Amino acid sequence: MRNILLLLFLYILNTIAYRPVILLHGILTGSESMELIKNCIEEKHPGTIVYNIDKFGGWSSLDNMWYQVKQVSQIITNITTNHSEGVNFLGYSQGALLGRTILQANPNHTIHRYISLSGPQGGQYGTQFLHLYFPGLALETAFELFYSRVGQHTSVGNYWNDPYHQKLFYDYSQYLPYVNNEIRSNRSDEFKAALLKLDKLVLIGGPQDNVITPWQSSQFGYYNENGTVVKFEDTVTYKLDTIGLKTLYQKKKLILVTVPGVDHFMWHTNVTICDNYILPYLD
């Protein structure tokens, strides 16, 4: 009888509905790319409400990041207004950075947990996937495009972080240095406080990603001026606790999940990834 009751308890625990979940797609795709994760959540935990945001699909995902933040923030606010218990939020690739910024830009948010699935949180310095959209773009000279008025109208330009041209990065980038509080603004305190409200900040990435460069950017690690990767705990962002990463980590609210052998375009299309590395953080 005891074994039967235990099995019944585990079954109920495994099938109980989660808090509502918001999904946000990556660059040059749309909500259809997140359907596997949506279906995975709904199948494994029936009754869970999943909002799969379709805003800024396709080429419109290249729009300026601040513009996207403003537009998608309204959608998130409309969703969370209907769920006083709070919601969980998962963003993939560029959507992971966009989603994180949406939280920071809305310090009164009611997001319970935020999952960043292979997002360029520390920036991007790799052109492999960009050749489809910026033909002829060379890694060494990409800063000439992205650190310009035209380049800052593009989402990629907003988080392009060239380790060999840091002065230009801080002089021209209108987005990433501010959301990471590397440059102080009148919103810096709000940006930090908003992340500290989270019950969990989960950062998922892996060494075989092949798109997010360096892959450690998915966990706030990045290159130094010599091109050597600095782990997140050795970055200025962490050491100075500019956006609350150190505080979250010390409170065991910052979770780093490193999964080897996963290509960038498999994170959101692999049931095993969903089962093992996403579902456990949606309770």
| Catalytic residue numbers, as ranges | 93, 209, 264
Rounded CA-CA distance 128/158 in Å is 17
Collapsing DSSP states into helix, strand and coil, what is residue 283?
coil
Asked if residue 222 lies in contact with residue 120, where contact means CB atoms within 8 angstroms, the answer is no
Of 208, 209, 204, 207, the C-alpha closest to 220 is 204
Q: Which residues, 6+ apart, have CB-to-CB distance to 39 below 8 Å?
A: none
| Enclosing H/E stretch for 225 | none
Question: Do residues 75 and 55 make contact, with C-beta atoms less than 8 angstroms apart?
Answer: yes
Say which residues have a Cβ less than 8 Å from residue 165's Cβ, sequence separation at least 6: 143, 147
